[in-house]
Structure 1
Amino acid sequence: MAIIKLQIDDFISVDYELIAIHSSLEDYRLAYCINQKLGVSFEKSEKDIGIQIPEGKSHFTRFIFDDEEHELYWNLIPNKTKIITRQTQSPSLFEQTELDIATNIYLLPEMKKVDYLIKIEQVDDFFDADKLVDELLSIKQITTAYKIELNKLKSKNNLIF
């Protein structure tokens, strides 16, 4: 009887594109600009993306668009959020002070300079990500945009939501 080995990688297929965006706009303004330029309809999702870290739980807001015509599912996510932790210090025997410390948390820590990510799910061979990047670059509030090579990401598990 023959032995058949199955690798877990045999079942994993990457069916999404990831685009990095550098912009100083707030997330809702960026979603509005993209809606106007690309003719999509991003809406704020009720479900945030949560990531557990040693300092606590962090939440990333998300805007979604379900493109039923092309059978694509779009996510616009900020790469950075802040978490505030409270620490108590005792500078003297009779005095205690509480400090609020803000810590930046990144969805993709290896890409700290990226402000936003667009994750487009269920893409096929006909999807042209380069054309999408060119259209994003035509928005004057976006400094730069580019495709992210998925095989170079270390924290791609954070993109499972």
Structure 2
Amino acid sequence: MAVHKLILDDTFDDSVYTLTAIHCGLEDFRLAYLLNKHLGICLCRKASDLDAKNGQASYSIFEWEDEKQLITWSLVSNICKTEEIQESDYKSLFDNQEKITKTFHLLPEFKTVNYFLKIEGELSIKKERSITEAILNIPQLATAYSIDSGQLKSKDNLIFN
């Protein structure tokens, strides 16, 4: 019996997108509102959050599909904080339970980034720069910059579907 082997190129893995890191202290819905206002888009909160780390962490996600230009915009938080109750190993008269806050990051190599704006689709460099400049003009934001997706170690975390 003959063995047939199919080899798929890496072209299926590489989707075309741009990624912008956003540093700010705003809540997710407020940032989505400001991006909608300044960029002329319509980000809406998805019904379910983005699950990661086998249900240990969930990240808020806002999305908009521009059907005219065939572009999908996604705003996702990078930080997830969860509280766990840790019981002490020893018994005492005053048993107390400590609350421990654990912090998870969607992209661990960018721990200081609060949010990511992922734009899936073909964008010219000029359009990408104008989007970044429009984001930088929002006074409530500290900074924003583009990230080279080729340098990401955990790019699989950016697959939202």
Q: Provide the TM-score with structure 1 as the length reference.
A: 0.87
The match for 1:33 is 34
Q: For residues 68-99 of structure 1, give each alpha carbon's deviation from its aligned partner in whole angstroms, at most 9, with x where no partner exists.
A: 12111111011101011111114544443211
SS at 1:66 equivalent: strand
Structure 2: stretches of 5+ with no match in the other structure: none
2:104 maps to 1:100? no
2:52 maps to 1:51? yes
Tell me: CA distance 1:125–1:37, structure 2 relative to 1, closer, same or farther (3 Å).
Answer: closer
Structure 1 window deviating more from structure 2 (147-156 vs 83-92): it is 83-92
Q: Take 2:27 and 2:72, find their aligned partners in 1: how far apart are those partners? A: 22
Q: Take 2:49 and 2:158, find their aligned partners in 1: how far apart are those partners? A: 12
Q: Take 2:78 and 2:142, find their aligned partners in 1: how far apart are those partners? A: 15
Identity among equivalent pairs (%): 34
Q: What's the offset of the Cα at 1:125?
A: 5.0
Q: What's the offset of the Cα at 1:103?
A: 0.8
The match for 2:15 is 14
Q: Take 2:40 and 2:122, find their aligned partners in 1: how far apart are those partners? A: 20
More strand by share: 1
> What is the RMSD computed on CA atoms of the aligned residues?
2.1
Structure 1: stretches of 5+ with no match in the other structure: none
Q: For residues 40-87 of structure 1, give each alpha carbon's deviation from its aligned partner in whole angstroms, at most 9, with x where no partner exists.
A: 11111112101126xx61110111111112111111011101011111
| Aligned ranges 1:6-155 → 2 under 5 Å | 6=7, 8-52=9-53, 57-121=56-120, 123-126=121-124, 128-155=127-154
SS at 1:111 equivalent: coil
2:71–2:122 contact (8 Å) kept in structure 1: no
2:66–2:72 contact (8 Å) kept in structure 1: yes
Q: Which amino acid aligns with 1:124?
A: E
SS at 1:18 equivalent: strand
SS at 2:72 equivalent: strand
Q: Provide the TM-score with structure 2 as the length reference.
A: 0.87
Q: What's the offset of the Cα at 1:143?
A: 1.3
Q: Take 1:136 and 1:106, find their aligned partners in 2: how far apart are those partners? A: 22
Aligned pair count reads 156
